[in-house]
Amino acid sequence: MIATTALLVLTVTLVSLMIRRAAFAARVLIIGSSPLARQLVTEFAHHRHVWHRVAAVVDDANDADPPLGQRLAAPAARLRPIIEEFRPDRIVVALDDRRGRLPMRALLDATVDGVVVEDGVDCYERLTGKIAIEALTPSGLIGSPAFRKSHFDLAFSHALSLVVAASALVVLAPLFAVLAILITLDSRGPVFFVQDRVGLRGRRFRLLKFRTMRSADGPTSEWVCDNGHRITRVGRWLRRYRLDELPQLINVVRGELNLVGPRPHPVSNFELFMEKIPFYSLRSAVRPGLTGWAQVRQGYANSLEEETEKMRYDLYYIKHMSAWLDLRILLQTVRIVLSGSESVDPVARLEVRPCRASLAVVGVRVKK
């Protein structure tokens, strides 16, 4: 039995190593040298996607500086001989402007020959689990069924959240009492922290948390990194294991939150985000959540740039929201809570880089 298990492990390891070698990796041909194309090259090079290898980048621009040093094969008009030379397994179209530049017949012949032809925006979404919001257009959103959620799906998700939250409140009542005593003994102030947040359809509600910081003398920033010095000893522990979020089960029972959804933002930041983050209002189309896709993939945000990045994940969730995705998010949340870890520790960030409440919005820029 032991010998069989060892042989199986060895076989899997060897196969994995072979797949990771360039000779066995699926060859990818990217059409375009746009910012999106450059981002895709980075994603394909990332360790999660090592079974793909970018063989070449093709574009009419004759760019002397191909994305990340990848070989720039030739203009897109000569796509047919390029396909014959590189024999790609997948072709990704990431052109800024496709009018008159895309040889459709060559792509059709490649599809017939078994080559996967994929739009760059869809490829980016599949690889990263987020949406390039600069690629979205109002007309595209209006015509897309993905962002139109049925009343049944929304009602079912909320009903399930109510049942689970009510049950959890009953089971966790003793833990609530213990945490309240610890918070009271550790520092002066109320047990709960209450803050105005923006919920479904832009409605305001009062979000509940266990208090993890000492009271401030005056107005404070909303960014976590600006308030690290105010976190109490018990508060640091509560944050590490996400126990400070437990009172939000009351918000779920009130109907203000779901278990899963985009995290509700403070009212004080709403106008800024509406102005600076593209399509930010779409977050209000669904009920916010106690946890969400952006939380398990990225964690806390300490600047407008990071909030914009989280918006990409939020839009992905809204587009793909389902019971299976909710279950996946809940399981990852449980793993994070039990391990006491997160995507990035908001306090540890202070030691890595300064807080930047910059107004610049960064990301992949795609014209359509």
Spell out the per-residue pLDDT of the chain, length 368, in tens: 555 555 554 555 555 554 444 445 788 898 887 888 888 888 887 755 557 777 778 775 555 555 555 566 667 678 888 888 888 999 998 887 766 567 888 899 999 999 999 998 889 998 899 998 877 777 777 767 777 777 887 888 899 999 999 999 999 999 999 999 999 999 899 999 999 999 999 999 999 999 998 876 655 555 555 566 778 999 999 988 889 999 999 999 999 999 999 999 999 889 999 999 989 988 998 999 999 999 999 887 878 899 999 999 999 999 999 889 999 999 999 998 888 765 443 333 333 344 544 443 333 333 33
In the chain, the number of structural domains is 2
For the record, the structure tokens of 16 come out as 């994995």
> Same structural domain for residues 151 and 121?
no
CATH number of the structural domain spanning residue 94: 3.40.50.20
> Same structural domain for residues 107 and 179?
no
Domain that holds residue 88: 2-128
Nearest CA to 306 out of 345, 224, 361 is that of: 361
Q: Is 136 part of any domain?
A: no
Element holding 260 (H helix, E strand): strand 258-260
Q: What is the structure's pLDDT at 7?
A: 57
For the record, the structure tokens of 146 come out as 């993905």
Q: Is 346 part of any domain?
A: yes
Q: Domain boundary at 94, 128, 162, which?
A: 128
| 99 touches 110 (CB < 8 A) | no
> Same structural domain for residues 177 and 229?
yes
| Coil vs helix vs strand at 176 | helix
> Same structural domain for residues 177 and 317?
yes
Q: What is the structure's pLDDT at 73?
A: 64
Task: Round to whole Å and give the CA distance between 31 and 107.
Answer: 11
Q: What is the structure's pLDDT at 108?
A: 92
> Same structural domain for residues 90 and 173?
no
**Whose structure tokens read 């360790």?**
47
Q: What is the structure's pLDDT at 115?
A: 92
DSSP tag of 156: H
Burial of 148 (0-12, 13-18, 19+ CB in 10 A): exposed
